[in-house]
Amino acid sequence: MINYTDLIGTPFVNEGRDSKKGLDCYGLVKEVYNRYGIELPEYTLNYDEFEKIDALIRNQKTNPIWKKADDTEPPVPSIVCMSFGVPKGIINHTGVYIGDGKMIHTRAKIGVCVDRVDSPAWRRVIDSYYTYTGGDK
């Protein structure tokens, strides 16, 4: 089992990639996956802020590294993709499914926290779960 409790309360910071100073949602995903021994790529895409994560995960053009999880119980770890509807249909928030119906993610005013994926606040915005394949190495 991977330990992530030291991340709880880490502040949200835009473009944050430091588990001590602050993380944004994808920075947290990278940190949690790193603890599983998986180094995720950084997004270096020239997209609008809201489209960066969506393009990285769903719109992979060459050498896809993510596969949509078909399972009713996503594997651990899986990236939890959320869409808040602005712009419509774009994944604009991520977290990591950590099992037992829970995800770890970060929120602007709260920082890193753990929430249930079936809670009323999250189940309506969760778009999909993706597993990391690593692509062609």
Q: In CATH, which of 3.40.630.30, 3.40.50.720, 3.90.79.10, 3.90.1720.10 is domain 5-132?
A: 3.90.1720.10
- Percentage of residues in the chain with pLDDT exceeding 70? 80
Asked if residue 130 has pLDDT above 70, the reply is: yes
Q: Half-sphere exposure of 116 toward its Cβ, with a 13 Å CA cutoff? A: 5
Q: How do beta strands 126-132 and 111-116 pair?
A: unpaired
pTM of the predicted protein model: 0.85
Asked if residue 73 has pLDDT above 50, the reply is: yes
Distance of CA 56 to the CA centre of its chain: 11
Asked if residue 32 has pLDDT above 90, the reply is: yes
pLDDT of residue 45: 45
Asked if residue 47 has pLDDT above 50, the reply is: no
